[in-house]
Structure 1
Amino acid sequence: MFCFRRAILTLFFMFLLYEVDLLENGLARTPPMGWMSWGYYMCGIKCEGNESKCLNEDLVLSVADTFYDEGYQEAGYEYIIVDDCWSEKARDRNGKLVADRKRFPRGMKFLADYIHSKGLKFGMYTNIAEVTCMRYPGSKNYLSLDAQTFAEWGVDYLKVDGCYVTEEFLNVGYIRLGKYLNETKRPMVYSCSWPYYIEFIHRKKPDYALIAKYCNMWRNYHDVQTSWEAMIGIVEHYRSSYGEMAPYHHPGQWNDPDMLIFGTGVLTRSQSRIQLAVYVMLSAPILISCDMNKITAYEKQLLLNLDLIAVGQDPLGIMAKPYKFHGLVLWVKPHLPKKGDSYPTFSFALVNLDIEDVRLDLKPGLYGLNSTDGYSMMDVFSGHHIKNITLHDTISLIVPGHDVLMYTMYPL
């Protein structure tokens, strides 16, 4: 009996220790929203004569001021994230990371304190290898020290890349770093690139069940480029991979299709509608990457459209299901508010990636709607309620080329 009880206790404590290693930070209950430097500024270290593409202290402070002054913060955009190339090329004599002394003269703790003073949150970047993707000091041999350093600086979000390491180390390094982040007791959203490198560099199938245990969000496709074609590739990847991604996508664990390319001048109005509509239907993180002064009035209107944001920030966090037909893709997503316990609201996004218009007859009742009292149909982009429909109604629509129609159906 004594041996049996000892064996049970041993198993219990082994299980307990295993659970401690899991990501239990309670963060990212809705997909993070904010700004990230990489997509537009990239490794913006050549500042003399190129101030408009310089990654430095002034830039980050200006983004915080814009979020605070122009309504982005109230709409839910809260994270300001500095990507690669922020550090000196060498650690200090104690092995600690050091911010570039010329571009960030007051250091990262100063940035964090300023951002926090605005009620916003601060994010940073590292890589799981010995160097970052752009050959700055990485965290491989300093996982515990770097986790503690980021905590001391007041970091709220950590993006962790996966360049230059083996498949074997990807599968242990992200887990180890997550453990050290937990041990700091500092709440930090943990953004991993783990599945991207497994699939596209090492040519294996990502283990999403494992990844979702240790990361708040994860990149699983190529970096977005500032082009319409790159955006099409992301949308198509998420459509074709829905079956393997959706089961592990929920509050606290998100698939991340990378940044919005608003403010870069490469998208038309309708193409901008497509990117943001698909992202909110996916319950994806919404991270802008641009010079905030170059966002057009129309792009700003989209980014601050609270009906759109409500779909993306829905607490249920369901990834919309795609249906391909009639030359376009219909994305369908149930979300709050509910009528009672049984009748959710549904949003529909009809996405046309081709140049030609598509005419179709849509019967929304075929896609999960279940309220026999019918639904009130709202155009999400205009905010106008169009009409009431029943489960049996058919709606005749024209979806213009390179555009999206998006409707929310509220149960009556």
Structure 2
Amino acid sequence: MLRLHVLDIVFLVILLPENVKLLKNGLALTPPMGWMSWGYYMCAVNCDNYPDKCLNENLILSVADTFYHDGYQEAGFEYIIIDDCWSEKERDENGKLVPDKKRFPNGMKYIADYIHTRGLKFGMYTNIAEITCMKYPGSQYFFDIDAQTFADWGVDYLKVDGCFVKEDYLNTGYIDLGQELKKTAKDMVYSCSWPYYIQFIHKKMPDYQKIAKHCNMWRNYHDVQLHWPAVKAIINHYKNEYDRISPYHGPGQWNDPDMIIFGTGALNENQSRVHYTVYLMLSAPILLSCDMNKITTFEKKLLQNLDLIAIGQDPLGIMAKPYQLEQLVILWVKPHLPMKGDRFHSFSFAIVNLDTEQHLISIYPVVYGVNSTDGYSVMDVFANTFRKNVTLKDYIQVVVPAEDVILYTLFPL
């Protein structure tokens, strides 16, 4: 079994290798897990006409209740994050941001307190420009005031967008806002969109060494859309960018492929397995975006699979390496804990088939870094069953269904 208790994870984090680089705020030592409003709700402010799809106080509190009562919190989901479109269109007379008075009548401190009483954490959104991506007040010229405002409200996680600014400002604005957040003495996970705008808007290569010094996590590809082709595009992007971005990925600093789109009806069961598994193999943040009441029984069981989550939340935080086996079949290989002694990692192998036809795949694990001379015990993670023991000379053969994934974990004997 792959399950790790919370105390085990804390102990293992203490034993991390000295060369692992951590952001100095000491947060997000494993990838954040939670819920974010944007992917499904977007700028859902027309609550009179669409009360069932409305970004408001009741929605946020209901997500907290669902996490608390339905097993998500125990599985590791803890952050509840409000994205764009939460504020009034004007600041107050003191230059402070004001929550929309109709949709958030009790204010953000009330929401934060409600979430905190359930042992969960609260996140919010801003942009480093004068306005947000949806034309609400941004934080430019107000970094100090906004940082203190978010701290006073009890914010634990801040997503910062980068619309409508020039390249040079991206390379200074995120650093400057981060410094103001530190001055508040309120710990906040700092989520940046910095590399995305550098690469896809300004057509330059991001300086990940600098970004990793200042941000806990960062978006570096397009927003996920509510359909399977968007998920496939994200998977292929991370495959193609692995060599560039993996050196800067680890405890306290994570590449963020955007949200999980369960609960939207966008994916079938096979596609859902692929979506979730690849993100966990990447040690990526896991942020749902949906009406939590629309999560299916299958999706809930998958989301709360502790054997899967142990792979994604592994304290070493190693980003799985991709290997193209066939044109539409990718093998993702991830070393992780537990280890045998200090030499032999466990490994997870995710064979991802993006084709519309099944594929017969054979792999020799020794080719991909396994090295225990006593061999390995192979577990089928989805079936939760022992498959067989293998030596360094053996191969594994399996039929991978169309648009699906087979996931094995190899434990050193």
TM bucket by the smaller chain?
Answer: over 0.9
Query: What is the correspondence of 1:392-411 to structure 2 with a 5 Å cutoff?
Result: 392-411=393-412
- State the Cα distance separating 1:266 from its structure 2 match: 1.1
Once residues 88 and 373 of structure 2 are traced to their aligned partners in structure 1, the CA distance between those partners, rounded to angstroms, is 63
- State the Cα distance separating 1:326 from its structure 2 match: 2.4
Once residues 360 and 120 of structure 2 are traced to their aligned partners in structure 1, the CA distance between those partners, rounded to angstroms, is 44
Amino acid at match of 1:336: L
Deviations 1:142-187 (A, max 9, x none): 0011000000000000000000000010000000000011111101
Once residues 46 and 174 of structure 2 are traced to their aligned partners in structure 1, the CA distance between those partners, rounded to angstroms, is 31
Amino acid at match of 1:352: N
Corresponding residue number in structure 1 for 2:379: 378
Amino acid at match of 1:301: K
- State the Cα distance separating 1:325 from its structure 2 match: 1.4
Give the 3 Å change call, closer, same or farther, for CA 248–29 of structure 1 in structure 2: same
Once residues 268 and 385 of structure 2 are traced to their aligned partners in structure 1, the CA distance between those partners, rounded to angstroms, is 23
Q: Give the SS at the match of 2:142.
A: helix
Deviations 1:48-92 (A, max 9, x none): 131111000000000000000000000000000000000000000
User: What RMSD over aligned residues (CA atoms) do the two structures have, in Å?
Assistant: 0.8
Amino acid at match of 2:291: D
8 Å CA contact 2:23–2:253 kept in 1: the answer is no
Corresponding residue number in structure 2 for 1:69: 69
Corresponding residue number in structure 1 for 2:390: 389
Amino acid at match of 2:111: L
Once residues 137 and 24 of structure 1 are traced to their aligned partners in structure 2, the CA distance between those partners, rounded to angstroms, is 29
8 Å CA contact 2:23–2:252 kept in 1: the answer is no
* Alignment pair present for 1:137 and 2:137: yes
Task: Name the count of aligned residue pairs.
Answer: 391
Q: Give the SS at the match of 1:140.
A: coil
Once residues 98 and 89 of structure 2 are traced to their aligned partners in structure 1, the CA distance between those partners, rounded to angstroms, is 9
Once residues 23 and 337 of structure 1 are traced to their aligned partners in structure 2, the CA distance between those partners, rounded to angstroms, is 24
8 Å CA contact 2:281–2:312 kept in 1: the answer is yes
Corresponding residue number in structure 2 for 1:183: 183
* Alignment pair present for 1:348 and 2:349: yes
For normalisation by structure 2, the TM-score amounts to 0.94
Amino acid at match of 1:312: G
Query: What is the correspondence of 1:222-241 to structure 2 with a 5 Å cutoff?
Result: 222-241=222-241
Q: Compare relative contact order (CA 8 Å, sep 6+) and give the higher one, 1 or 2.
A: 2
Once residues 410 and 32 of structure 2 are traced to their aligned partners in structure 1, the CA distance between those partners, rounded to angstroms, is 25
Once residues 372 and 276 of structure 1 are traced to their aligned partners in structure 2, the CA distance between those partners, rounded to angstroms, is 32
Amino acid at match of 1:319: M
* Alignment pair present for 1:128 and 2:128: yes
Q: Give the SS at the match of 1:387.
A: strand
8 Å CA contact 1:23–1:178 kept in 2: the answer is no
Once residues 386 and 395 of structure 2 are traced to their aligned partners in structure 1, the CA distance between those partners, rounded to angstroms, is 17
Once residues 66 and 80 of structure 2 are traced to their aligned partners in structure 1, the CA distance between those partners, rounded to angstroms, is 11
Query: What is the correspondence of 1:249-398 to structure 2 with a 5 Å cutoff?
Result: 249-327=249-327, 328-398=329-399
State which drifts further: 269-278 or 390-399.
390-399
Q: Give the SS at the match of 2:259.
A: coil
Once residues 24 and 111 of structure 1 are traced to their aligned partners in structure 2, the CA distance between those partners, rounded to angstroms, is 28
- State the Cα distance separating 1:231 from its structure 2 match: 0.5
Once residues 361 and 276 of structure 1 are traced to their aligned partners in structure 2, the CA distance between those partners, rounded to angstroms, is 23
Once residues 376 and 118 of structure 1 are traced to their aligned partners in structure 2, the CA distance between those partners, rounded to angstroms, is 39
Point out where structure 2 has 5 or more consecutive residues left out of the alignment: 1-21
Runs of 4 or more, structure 1, over 3 Å off, are: none
Point out where structure 1 has 5 or more consecutive residues left out of the alignment: 1-21
- State the Cα distance separating 1:247 from its structure 2 match: 0.4
State which drifts further: 362-371 or 150-159.
362-371
Q: Give the SS at the match of 2:309.
A: helix
- State the Cα distance separating 1:23 from its structure 2 match: 4.8
8 Å CA contact 1:23–1:182 kept in 2: the answer is no
8 Å CA contact 2:36–2:289 kept in 1: the answer is yes
Once residues 270 and 368 of structure 1 are traced to their aligned partners in structure 2, the CA distance between those partners, rounded to angstroms, is 28
- Choose between structure 1 and 2: higher helix proportion: 1
State which drifts further: 241-250 or 356-365.
356-365
Determine what percentage of the aligned residue pairs are the same residue. 68
Deviations 1:165-222 (A, max 9, x none): 0001000000000001111110100000000000000000000001000000000000
Deviations 1:233-279 (A, max 9, x none): 00000000000000000100000000001000010000000000100
Once residues 254 and 266 of structure 2 are traced to their aligned partners in structure 1, the CA distance between those partners, rounded to angstroms, is 27
